[in-house]
Amino acid sequence: MNIVKIAISIADVQIGKIFTIALHLVSFRTLNMDSNPRTLTCFVDDAEQKNFVSNIPSAVRFYAFISCIGDSFKITKFEKLSVPTSLHGEGSRSWKWGKKW
């Protein structure tokens, strides 16, 4: 199976040197390359988000963009799954890759 779970930790982002906010554990789970169409589902703090991306190309790359000095992110987990963990239940919305959103 070609299903991967990628967890990224983003925390303590300073805004304008006035206050600090703590962001959440973001997980691009599940990148399902076996489904038809291929899908990418995002989770925040282990809660599946209602919007997901479908029609993912057969090869993908992940990029990160950091705009402020001192900001950072950390990949905390990268694992291959035997079954998808996303449900795409009621209220979910598919956004098609390559289309204007």
Q: Omega before 85 cis (within 30°)?
A: no
- Token pair belonging to 101: 């959103």
Res 41: pLDDT: 86
Res 77: pLDDT: 76
| pTM score of the predicted model | 0.68
Domain boundaries, given as residue ranges, for the chain: 3-96
| pLDDT tens track, the chain, 101 positions | 566 666 665 554 444 444 444 455 566 667 888 889 999 888 877 788 888 989 999 988 877 777 778 777 777 777 888 888 888 999 999 999 999 88
